[in-house]
A and B are shown apart, each in its own frame.
Chain A
Amino acid sequence: MNRQRLSSWWFAGTLLFALLSMLVPLPAVLEPFKPYWPALVLLYWTLESEDRVSLGLAFLLGLGADLFDGVLLGEQALRLCALVFIVLRFRSRLRFFPMWQQALAVLALLLNDRILLLMVRLLSGATMPPASWWIAPFVGAALWPFLFLLLDDLRMRLRLQ
């Protein structure tokens, strides 16, 4: 009972931490390399404990991120919903991929996410972003194995579900 509560706190805590790291600024040089943390953490939880993650949760997390980010209400909600939907659909396969294939799949997902974002931005009247805008998904995919192993290891150590 207590352990279950702890594990749901851990779940919520990682998601909140992802939102926070989205807001933490990096030095200007590293700025284009910043991965989309909420998507990565949400991806992990979708793969590892699918009964906790639903489209509704992705939508709410996205709304929360929009609230902090202040760009356009619903933008990240849309992106995260699309992401979680795809992952839920291919979850059974993604889970048994070797790590490098999983990272490639994550790259595809993040690129898809950027394309969605680009569509939203262009429709709302923003301009075409520079080429460095496309680096972030690659950084995210490169970090994926480490993030996955770290979160998995922490979960094992804390003996959480």
Chain B
Amino acid sequence: MARPRDESSPLFAGNAAGTLRLIVYLALALVLMVLDHRNGWLWRVRYAASMVVEPVYRLANLPSAGMRTLSVAFADRKLLTEQNQRLREDLLLANARLNRMAGVAEQNQHLKELLDTQRSLNINVQLARVVGVDLGAYQQRLVLNLGTRDGVKQGQPVIDAHGVMGQVVEVLPKTSVVMLVTDPAHAIPVVVERSGLRTVAYGARDGSGLVLPNIPLAADVQPGDKLLTSGLGGRFPPGFPVGKVVAVAPGVSGMFRVAEVQPAADIDRSEDVLLLHDQAEPEGPPAPLIPAGPPAALAPAQAAAAGNTPAAASTGAVRTTLPRATANLPAATSAATPAAAGSAR
């Protein structure tokens, strides 16, 4: 019954070929990792492989979706009634507040019109559901059930009822991945509501919340202060709650103070989130509207004079349409998004 000893299963010593193969594979993996780290290729590969990846995500979502359904099915009737009652009260309260705010908002709109600014208080949103997929331990990321086909774009802010959750970092055709504000690689420009101090909130290193690592020693920041998005940087629109300062302590270097911030959004518990469609206005000088070169009216004539080549005529046409296209872009996007948002509401 003795098993014949072959070269591939030595009892004690390994063979050189196996070690060589290991080295080749490890080197290959290392090269892949370095390339991916430098260029972020993995997501392009994932996008290409989304036919496989997305069904697997749906499949992996099934247990948590099943748990949710079960918890609803077996929930206590009394509990549900209580919850319903509480939600009704919340709704009533929110509606009452809204009614009061409506007047203020109208006034605000009027004043802003007087000031000739374009910002408005109404927001364009799209409801998204969190897909229960575990993207590895200590990854501060979420998967949403909307993707390119639903008009999701990279960089869109994600909020829930209480505040900012994060932003879309990668989009697949039918799913997208959100980096949470608590990710150590995430930074969000904020303003302290009480004192108006502007600073940047980073994800905490242990993923527990956010930190303000560089508050000047003289600045006025206290525990309990609320942080709002400042709108600087052009990624997040201004005025959304980000978190609340829990503790302020001197930094390690002694040059700054460091504040711990608890995120305002229900990072762990949210099942439904909102994707904001109004991207904040980009900061910086406006794009030049008038192209350099001869006036558009002269372009076809010039082209004809230059030798009547269709290529020259077409470049002239492109020149004339380009500024109009750029000028229409914000209007076009804002006109397109309510249709998508309307279906979600």
Contacts and interface: CB of A to CB of B under 8 A. Distances in A.
A78 B170 contact: no
Interface stretch (B31-39, B188-196, B272-280, B331-339): B31-39
B64 A55 contact: no
Contact of A23 (B22, B33, B36, B56): B56
Nearest to B63: A24
A23 B25 contact: no
A70 B56 contact: no
B29 interface: yes
Interface residues of A, number: 47
Given A20-B56, A24-B60, A31-B137, A75 B33 contact: yes
B186 interface: no
Contacts of B138: 129-130, 133
Contacts of B32: 63, 73-74, 77
Interface string A46-60: 000011000110110
Contacts of B37: 72, 124
B60 A20 contact: yes
Nearest to B134: A25
A151 interface: no
Interface in B8-66: 8-11, 14, 18, 21-22, 25-26, 28-33, 35-37, 41-43, 45-46, 49, 52-53, 56-57, 59-60, 63-64
Nearest to A65: B136
A56 B30 CA distance: 15
A35 B12 CA distance: 29
A130 to B, nearest CB: 6
Interface stretch (A3-11, A86-94, A104-112): A86-94
Interface in A81-105: 81-82, 85, 88-89, 91-93
Residues of A contacting B: mostly: helix
B177 interface: yes
Contacts of A34: 134, 137
Contacts, number: 127
Nearest to B32: A74
B18 A24 contact: no
A139 interface: no
A88 B60 CA distance: 31
Q: Which of B9, B33, B37, B135 has the most CB of A within 10 A?
A: B33
A26 interface: yes
Interface in B159-186: 170, 177, 184
B313 interface: no
A77 B250 CA distance: 43
B64 A24 contact: yes
Contact of B135 (A56, A62, A69, A133): A69
A70 B170 contact: yes
B84 interface: no
A161 to B, nearest CB: 15
B42 A81 contact: no
A25 B133 contact: yes
A66 interface: yes
Contacts of A25: 60, 63-64, 132-134
B268 interface: yes
A55 B56 contact: no
B137 A23 contact: no
25 contacts: A23-B133, A23-B135, A24-B132, A25-B132, A59-B25, A62-B29, A67-B53, A68-B56, A68-B57, A70-B46, A72-B36, A73-B32, A74-B28, A74-B30, A74-B32, A77-B28, A77-B29, A77-B32, A81-B26, A81-B29, A85-B22, A92-B9, A93-B11, A120-B33, A130-B206
Given A67-B53, A78-B26, 8 more contacts: A20-B60, A24-B63, A25-B64, A73-B42, A73-B45, A92-B10, A124-B33, A124-B37
Sort A-B residue pairs by CB-CB distance and give the 8 closest, nearest first: A74-B32, A78-B29, A23-B60, A25-B134, A73-B42, A74-B33, A74-B29, A73-B36
